[in-house]
Amino acid sequence: MEAVEGKPPGNSHRWPAEGLGRVPYWVYSDPEVYAREQARIFSGPYWNYVALEAEISNPGDFVRSHVGERSVVVVRDKAGGINVMLNRCAHRGVQFCRTNWGNTHSFTCP
């Protein structure tokens, strides 16, 4: 039986002897496992779905989405390009976009 990555063998975080047919509860509730999943899935070199192109068909159209726990805004610019940015003000750290979708000429820190 192998220890969970990052956990020493012999602790309570061991896979059950029954095999892979039963997932133990700690897999779903351990904060360290959750943090590793967030880092590996959403902060790694992988593509993440954030929106459909059809949702932002006109310049200024935007939609709020999430990459893991991070709130992002997907917006079509004046030239027709699609941009994704963290939904955080650079100087205050608050979410600058509080609407789920819409059209705007600019975003302003609240």
* Domains recognised in the chain with CATH numbers: 1-46 (no CATH), 53-103 (2.102.10.10)
Q: Tell me the pLDDT tens digit for each residue of 55-104.
A: 999 999 999 999 999 999 999 999 999 999 999 998 888 999 999 999 99
CA distance 31 to 34: 5
pLDDT at 10 exceeding the cut of 60:
no
Residue 101 φ/ψ, nearest 5 degrees:
-160, 165
- The torsion angle over the Cα atoms of residues 96, 100, 102 and 106, rounded to 10 degrees, is 10
